[in-house]
Amino acid sequence: MGGNGKCYFGTDGIRGRVGTAPITPDFMLKLGWAAGKVFGGIGNGRNKILIGKDTRISGYMFEAALEAGITAAGVDISLLGPMPTPAIAYLTRTLRAQAGIVISASHNSFHDNGIKFFSGQGAKLPDSIELAIEAELEKEMTTVPSETIGKASRVSDAAGRYIEFCKSTIGPSLKLTGLKIVVDCAHGSTYHIAPDVFEELGAEVGAIGVSPNGLNINKEGGSTMPENLVRQVLESGAGLGIAFDGDGDRVIMVDHGGRIVDGDEILYAIARNRQREGLAFGGVVGTQMSNLGLELALGDLKIPFARSPVGDRYVMQELAERGWGLGGESSGHIIITDLNTTGDGIVSALQTLAAIVGFDRSLAELCRGMRKFPQSMVNVQIADGADPTARPAVRDAVSKVERKLGGNGRVLLRPSGTEPVVRVMVEGEDAERVEALANELSELVAQQA
């Protein structure tokens, strides 16, 4: 069950294991038809929906099913082929489509797949549209008269359009000449785009994770497993490494010494450079999981900082409410609202490279202004429906740990939205102490569960 009374749509579309409902061809056929019915009533003249996908093997199957359903509803389709999620958001806007569909399970393995929708403005759908699609799913599927069946065409220059867009986000004068970069595309949807972007800007690029076979997406590489990238950077003597996830909306970097640079540090580098350039962005939105070091480092720069619940949807909501322009998560999901309408791994990497060139410093030097605090996270199994975080004994224990940490630490208890687990996170200056306090607190949570 999704949120807000929705049966299928979760916080990030519809996702699950391939072959298990609702991630089945028959459901995708009906979903395409339902989406066609809803979007077919929006706008004037002939309506159009874009479909793009990542590189997992089931993408072809679901693309064909969605295509059949959408055309049966009398709506045209433009097929983009394998494309990063942010590229689909961008092309939905520039090709004036009513909606864009992404077939992807992001950083999950090939066993999973999912569907994400973008509105004609390249934004996530409002609840009202998702509920309207779910209402159509309850109806019997019909086909429009033959003369009004939708047509499908392929956008042959989709990759080239997006490459040019990415390059345009850093201005015409920036060159990466002399910079040696290793790029890990996780055998995902950036494999035929990211290396070209950096090469065309003058960098010397060593590309890994660029041989997708349908089964190897996110396997032993990419932003969730950067160890291989670390090894390649050190062995090749590169200036830095860049890792994307399977659908290209996240980025993690590695400095020349092999140290992993996460989304918090990337946010810091971008914010610092934007301040240097005099670009107004209001402030930075992180999440409850963002490192305390980011908050303190931005404070030193007099840049306002706010936290949202975990999830890019909530970061985006907080940015919109505050009118700010920069936000993101430790996982490398960075949102820069004046450049794209969703997290964009390649664009975020380019903004970080622009900071490196602008400050004339290495990635390691650029991040030195932010000291990351040690974090310890323990997952505590709980019974379905239980919420030990509300119990007085747990609240008292949290207050005690916070007092022990003084002003330089945080405690966060967060029930998972997807499994019967409470995540206990403690953050502070001393790693051993932080770990001991996290274990102590998690034991109490387990007793109260």
The least confident of 22-31, 119-128, 194-203 is 119-128
What is the value of pTM for the model shown?
0.93
Bridge partners, residue 375, by sequence: 427
What number is the average pLDDT over the span 348-370? 96
Q: Report which residue type is found at 115.
A: I
Give 210-246 pLDDT, tens digit per residue. Answer: 999 999 999 999 999 999 999 999 999 999 999 999 9
pLDDT recorded at residue 182: 98
pLDDT at 43 over 90: no
What number is the average pLDDT over the span 195-212? 98
Give 125-177 pLDDT, tens digit per residue. Answer: 999 999 999 999 999 999 999 999 999 999 999 999 999 999 999 988 899 99
Give 104-138 pLDDT, tens digit per residue. Answer: 999 999 999 999 999 999 999 999 999 999 999 99
pLDDT at 44 over 60: no
pLDDT recorded at residue 385: 72
pLDDT at 415 over 90: no
What number is the average pLDDT over the span 424-441? 95
pLDDT at 45 over 60: no
For the chain, which domains are there?
14-156 (3.40.120.10), 168-369 (3.40.120.10), 375-448 (3.30.310.50)
The residues assigned a catalytic role are 106
pLDDT recorded at residue 408: 85
Q: Kindly state the tokens that stand for 434.
A: 């932080």
Count CB neighbours of 335 within 10 A.
26
For residue 425, what are the CA distances in angstroms to 310, 328, 408? Answer: 13, 19, 14
pLDDT at 294 over 80: yes
Characterize 252-287 residue by residue with b for buried, 16 or more Cβ atoms within 10 angstroms of its Cβ, and e for exposed.
Answer: bbbbbebebbbbbbbbbbbbbbbeeeeeebebbbbb
What is the rounded distance in angstroms from the CA atom of residue 334 to the CA atom of residue 190?
A: 16
Q: What percent of the chain has pLDDT over 90?
A: 88
Instruction: State yes or no: cis peptide before 25, omega within 30 of 0.
Output: no
